[in-house]
A and B are shown apart, each in its own frame.
Chain A
């Protein structure tokens, strides 16, 4: 988990992103897909590309 690498708590990451701890938790557990601006903020916070953090769901055939 990326957050563990930088040793931030959920509350700490939430404060950096300007969202609630509940939202960080829901993203981590995969129950909520963040909006594009929030995904960009996450990527910027961890100094990664969005594709390194999020995976697109396979297109159903």
Chain B
């Protein structure tokens, strides 16, 4: 019968890594080659709360409302003063809220993730090409005698194609 020192219990002894034993074939002779590029820093997770989503929509809605109010106001004022020297400035006033809408739009684009940005780039490309094709086509038709259409139709047409293309490209990644 052998008595074992409790402190010498082999079950308690820490297990040595294989390569530390002199006879081990797992001899570690050199450190692993470091990777050429360090991993990128962990991105701060964006907060996707309903409040953020609604805030963007509320800001967008309010600025569109402001744009429409300034637009209607300026049209009324310009029509009431057709000979005033300042009518051009008043006619240009709706550009200011429209610029704010565009700023909100660009900010919303910057908050998209990589797949959503890819979808938007495809949708914008489609919208640009389709609008160019239609406006050029109608320009040639105007040369042949079709009635002249206002330039203000171009943007709604572009927006229409952009919306449709966004829906189609989003559906493709579903």
Contacts and interface: CB of A to CB of B under 8 A. Distances in A.
A22 interface: yes
Contact of B116 (A15, A17, A22, A34): A22
B114 A35 contact: yes
Chain A, interface size: which category? 20 to 34
Contacts of B113: 18-20, 23
A40 B40 contact: yes
Interface residues of B, number: 18
Contact of B43 (A14, A22, A36, A37): A37
Given A40-B40, A44-B39, A20 B116 contact: yes
B37 to A, nearest CB: 9
A38 interface: yes
A23 B172 CA distance: 12
Given A18-B45, A18-B113, 11 more contacts: A14-B48, A19-B113, A19-B114, A20-B48, A23-B115, A31-B173, A36-B40, A38-B114, A40-B39, A40-B40, A41-B42
